[in-house]
């Protein structure tokens, strides 16, 4: 039953550009982007239990890396891939520096990264245009085909994130990360090379936001530091995963869909109070639904719920 | 001479920084909660002082106790209503909760005060002192004096008063304190209130020295964090050392590299320090 449903969903997603108008397509593209961001965060925040607030840093770095490469004449898809690779290298180096920190120290250290990158981007005016922002080369495609192109690009990114999540969850890596989440010292005792596992999870949590940032930059054609290093980009994926279920395979996707529905239905009527309402949702979520919408039983830990999830 | 001037600037700035960070350190140390709201609470104190000066002509320095009291009540209520419900949860939960509260407070401040930068301009201006070639603005010196006095007051409160001893007891061993008859959730609320009060007081002083806007809150939060890690978590003297160190580092790095890299430099230092000396300059073991 689940398989039939998943197949139907995939068919609808693939055929959507032929059926839907531009508004629906734009919303769907955003949904796929949110899914990829949430699935990305889930590697480090969900599986490994490390509260990372670095998503905005990876997204922004990916956007700027791919944007700058394109202004230098690199073709767009190659720029997205290279941007993702740059973000992965950055995350590997950063992970080695901050992943030995635990709890609060790690959380705040990861939070400051976006701030640092924003400052550097602002100062490197020659390369990035500084606070004036960066204009990307305009594509010679009509509006509808552009919308379709970026939709499929985000689709591939989200599908890759989902496939990687499913692969990791049923793999040695996922097992090791869950051990780290439950008790890191015990995981070390079991012979897990925790730093390596965490760095891999951190890199995975960086690649997908990095590529999404690159696609986003081409999609909107103009980026500036306050937009792509926005701290909300770090918070939203966490909220989505909390909504959908921490450490599960599909949690990020469910959360992204729910979150986007709320955003479209409620927030566009309340533009002045966007961040405030998100704050209220976060507070209610943490106080009343700490295990997400799937967690009917409050105190039920996520690894027990995972066994139902893992069954195909 | 330039170096002495920069050193003095750094010390003056560092005094204020200690006051900014001490409430954050207290909440982190005792409650084991990262208070993302801290930066916004400081800015709220700044706005209170700004409006008190503009409409009621109350001197910001005299307004410090009022701001502290207002923010104490707010902090006490926030802890009782929201944060006490998630005490002892995973880091992600407590952190996300204060993050959500901060988004709400930030948005309310944007709606109420707009994002424009404002600053208290004292009239008549207090001028500046010239001490053997080193120039220090008088308002900054007074701010530093107030800031250090407030930190000292908090230290005395924690060391000398009944409530202070209870806070320290809860920080050391929650269960044992409970068995000794300490009402732990009330102590949590008082601690958070004290943290907020220090933020409000620091905010009043801040409004005299720097332009304020709700957008400044995150930078202040980052500084509070850096100071806590620099000095080592969980002690008032540690925060003093961390604050003065950060003030001096920022002044010299602005001299050598330009002011636009201040966050990058303090963050790089922070990462290096955490790699090689995770317990901070004072060498006390932090809560992890």
Top CATH class, A2-10+18-310: mainly alpha
Chain B nearest C-alpha distance from A90 (Å) = 15
Is B269 a domain residue? yes
Task: Examine residue B32 and state whether it is found in any structural domain, yes or no.
Answer: yes
A112: chain B residues, CB-CB within 8 Å? 222, 225, 263, 267, 270
**Which residue of chain A is at minimal alpha-carbon distance from B36?**
A108
Inside any domain, residue B282 = no
* pLDDT over 50 at B136, yes or no: yes
Q: Cα–Cα distance between B219 and B206 in angstroms, integer?
A: 13
For residues A3 and A170, the answer to whether their CB atoms sit within 8 Å is: no
Query: Within a domain: residue B21?
Result: yes
B47 close to B204: Cβ distance less than 8 angstroms: no
- In this complex, do B271 and A51 lie within 8 Å of one another by their Cβ atoms? no
Q: Is the model's pLDDT at B267 over the cut of 90?
A: no
**B contact test, residue of A181, A276, A301 with most B CBs within 10 A:** A276
pLDDT of B261: 77
- Do the chains contact at B264 and A119, CB–CB below 8 Å? yes
Closest residue of chain A to B100, computed from CA coordinates: A279
Is A293 an interface residue toward B (CB < 8 Å)? no
For chain B, say whether A283 makes contact (Cβ under 8 Å).
yes
The secondary structure element, H or E, covering residue B236 is: helix B236-257
Longest dimension (CA), chain B: 59
Whether B260 and A101 lie within 8 Å, measured CB to CB: no
Chain A nearest CA to B77, separation (Å): 15
Would strands A134-135 and A222-223 be described as parallel, antiparallel, or unpaired?
A: antiparallel
Binary contact (B91, A119; C-beta < 8 A): no
Per-residue pLDDT band for B282 (boundaries 50, 70, 90) equals low
**Predicted local confidence at residue A98, as pLDDT:** 87
Q: Give pLDDT, residue A111.
A: 83
Q: Which residues contact B69 (CB under 8 A, 6 or more apart)?
A: B197
As a whole number of angstroms, the distance between CA B249 and CA B9 comes to 11
Residue A44 confidence (pLDDT): 93
Any chain B CB within 8 A of the CB of A125? no
Q: How many CA atoms lie within 13 A of A46 on its CB side?
A: 34
Task: For residue A272, give the chain B residue with the closest CA.
Answer: B111
List the 92-121 stretch of A: residues with Cβ below 8 A of B.
97-98, 100-105, 107-109, 111-113, 115-116, 119-120
Q: Which of A104, A114, A232, A275 is the best residue to mutate to test the B interface, defined by the most B CB atoms within 10 Å of its own CB? A: A104
Cβ-Cβ contacts under 8 Å for B207 (sequence gap 6 or more): B45, B46, B47, B49, B50, B53, B60, B119, B120
Distance CA(B281)–CA(B152), nearest Å, equals 20
Query: Using one digit for the tens of pLDDT, what is the confidence trace for A137-184?
Result: 887 788 888 888 999 999 999 999 999 999 999 989 999 999 998 888
Encode pLDDT of B209-247 as tens digits.
Answer: 888 888 888 888 888 888 888 887 778 888 999 999 999
Contact B267 A108 (CB under 8 A): no
d(CA A278, CA A275): 5
B127, part of any domain:
no
Q: Angle CA(B62)–CA(B52)–CA(B142) in degrees, nearest 5?
A: 35
Nearest to B79 by CA among B109, B43, B35: B35
Cross-chain residue pair B91–A281, CB shorter than 8 Å: no
Q: Nearest-CA distance from A41 to chain B in Å?
A: 13
Contact B274 A274 (CB under 8 A): no
Angle at which helices B236-257 and B217-231 cross, to 10°: 120
pLDDT of B37 > 90? The answer is: yes
Q: What mean pLDDT is predicted for residues B254-281?
A: 76
Q: DSSP for B159-182, please give it.
A: HHSHHHHHHHHHHH-HHHHHHTT-
Q: Do A119 and B95 touch (CB under 8 A)?
A: no
The pLDDT value recorded for residue A300 is 47
Chain B interface with A: residues with Cβ < 8 Å: 28, 32, 34, 82, 85-86, 89-93, 95-97, 99-108, 110-111, 218-219, 222, 225, 229, 260-261, 263-264, 267, 270-271, 274-275, 278, 286-288
Give CA–CA dist B219/B24, Å, rounded.
Answer: 14
Global model pTM greater than 0.90: no
Say if the Cβ atoms of B260 and A278 lie within 8 Å.
no
Report the number of distinct structural domains present in chain B.
Answer: 1
CB contact under 8 A, A282 and B100: yes
CATH number, position B241: 1.10.3470
User: How far, in Å, are A224, A250, A280, A283, B234 from residue A35 at the CA level?
Assistant: 23, 9, 22, 22, 39
In a domain, B67, yes or no: yes
Who wins on pLDDT, B273 or A241? A241
Quote ipTM for the complex.
Answer: 0.81
Note whether residue B126 is domain-resident.
Answer: no
The pLDDT tens digits along chain A (312 residues) read 677 777 888 888 877 877 778 888 999 999 999 999 999 999 999 899 898 999 999 999 999 999 999 998 889 899 999 999 999 999 999 998 888 887 778 888 888 888 889 888 988 888 888 878 888 888 778 888 888 899 999 999 999 999 999 999 998 999 999 999 888 888 888 888 889 999 999 999 999 999 999 999 999 989 998 889 988 898 889 989 988 888 888 888 988 998 888 888 877 777 788 788 888 888 888 888 777 666 544 444 444 444 444 333
Strands B128-131 and B134-137: antiparallel
Q: Report the pLDDT value the prediction gives residue B279, as an integer from 0 to 100.
A: 64
DSSP-based helix, strand, coil % in chain A, nearest 5: 80, 0, 20
Give the nearest chain B residue to A279 (CA atoms): B100
Please give the residue of chain B at the shortest CA–CA distance from A45: B92
Does the structure show a pLDDT above 80 at B276? no
* Closest CB from B82, B110, B225 relative to A283: B82
Q: Which residue has the higher pLDDT, B277 or B113?
A: B113
Residue owning tokens 């009291």: B69
Asked if residue B201 has pLDDT above 80, the reply is: yes
- Residue B273's Cα: distance from chain center in Å? 21
Selecting from A123, A246, A276 the residue whose C-beta is nearest the C-beta of B103 gives A276
The values of phi and psi at residue A41, to 5°, are -60, -35
Cα B8–Cα B248–Cα B151 angle in degrees, nearest 5: 85
- Domain assignment of residue B102, given as a range: 2-121+135-276
CA A18 to CA A103: how far, in whole Å?
A: 47
């Amino acid at each position: 039953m689940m398989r039939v449903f998943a197949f139907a969903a995939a068919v609808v997603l693939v055929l959507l550009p032929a059926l839907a108008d531009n508004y629906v397509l734009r919303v769907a593209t955003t949904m796929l982007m949110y899914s990829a961001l949430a699935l990305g965060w889930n590697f480090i925040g969900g599986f490994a239990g490390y509260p990372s607030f670095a998503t905005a840093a990876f997204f922004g770095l990916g956007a700027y890396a791919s944007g700058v490469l394109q202004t230098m004449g690199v073709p767009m898809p190659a720029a997205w891939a290279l941007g993702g690779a740059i973000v992965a290298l950055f995350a590997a180096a950063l992970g080695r520096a901050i992943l030995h920190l635990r709890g609060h120290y790690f959380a705040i250290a990861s939070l400051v990264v976006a701030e640092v990158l924003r400052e550097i981007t602002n100062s490197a005016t020659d390369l990035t245009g500084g606070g004036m922002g960066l204009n990307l080369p305009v594509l010679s495609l009509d509006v509808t085909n552009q919308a379709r192109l970026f939709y499929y690009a985000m689709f591939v990114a989200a599908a890759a994130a989902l496939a990687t999540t499913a692969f990791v969850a049923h793999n040695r890596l996922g097992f090791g990360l869950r051990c780290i989440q439950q008790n890191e010292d015990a995981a070390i005792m079991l012979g897990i090379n925790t730093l390596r596992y965490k760095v891999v999870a951190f890199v995975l949590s960086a690649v997908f936001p990095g590529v999404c940032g690159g696609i986003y930059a081409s999609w909107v054609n103009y980026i500036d530091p306050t937009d792509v290093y926005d701290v909300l980009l770090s918070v939203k994926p966490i909220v989505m995963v909390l909504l959908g279920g921490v450490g599960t395979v599909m949690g990020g996707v469910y959360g992204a869909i729910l979150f986007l529905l709320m955003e479209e239905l409620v927030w566009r009527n309340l533009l002045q109070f966007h961040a405030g309402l998100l704050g209220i949702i976060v507070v209610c979520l943490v106080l009343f639904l700490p295990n997400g919408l799937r967690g009917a039983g409050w105190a039920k830990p996520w690894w027990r719920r995972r066994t139902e999830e893992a069954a195909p | 001479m330039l170096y002495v001037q920069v050193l003095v600037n750094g010390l003056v700035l560092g005094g204020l920084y200690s006051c900014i960070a001490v409430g954050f350190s207290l909440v982190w140390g005792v409650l084991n909660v990262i208070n993302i709201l801290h930066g916004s609470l400081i800015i709220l104190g700044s706005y209170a002082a700004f409006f008190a000066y503009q409409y009621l002509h109350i001197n910001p320095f005299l307004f410090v106790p009022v701001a502290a009291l207002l923010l104490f009540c707010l902090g006490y209520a926030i802890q009782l209503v929201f944060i006490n419900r998630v005490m002892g949860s995973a880091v992600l939960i407590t952190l996300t909760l204060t993050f959500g509260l901060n988004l709400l407070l930030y948005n309310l401040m944007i709606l109420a005060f707009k994002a424009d930068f404002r600053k208290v301009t004292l009239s008549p201006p207090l001028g500046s002192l010239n001490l053997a070639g080193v120039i220090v603005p008088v308002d900054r010196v007074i701010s530093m004096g107030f800031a250090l006095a407030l930190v000292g007051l908090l230290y005395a409160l924690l060391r000398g008063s009944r409530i202070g001893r209870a806070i320290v007891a809860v920080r050391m061993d929650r269960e044992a304190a409970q068995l000794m008859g300490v009402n732990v959730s009330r102590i949590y609320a008082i601690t958070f209130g004290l943290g907020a009060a220090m933020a409000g007081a620091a905010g009043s002083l801040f409004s005299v020295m720097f332009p304020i806007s709700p957008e400044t809150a995150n930078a202040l939060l980052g500084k509070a964090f850096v100071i806590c890690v620099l000095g080592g978590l969980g002690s008032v003297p540690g925060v003093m050392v961390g604050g003065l160190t950060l003030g001096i580092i920022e002044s010299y790095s602005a001299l050598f590299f330009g002011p636009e890299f201040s966050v990058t430099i303090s963050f790089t230092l922070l990462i290096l320090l955490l790699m090689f000396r995770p317990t901070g300059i004072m060498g006390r073991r932090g809560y992890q």
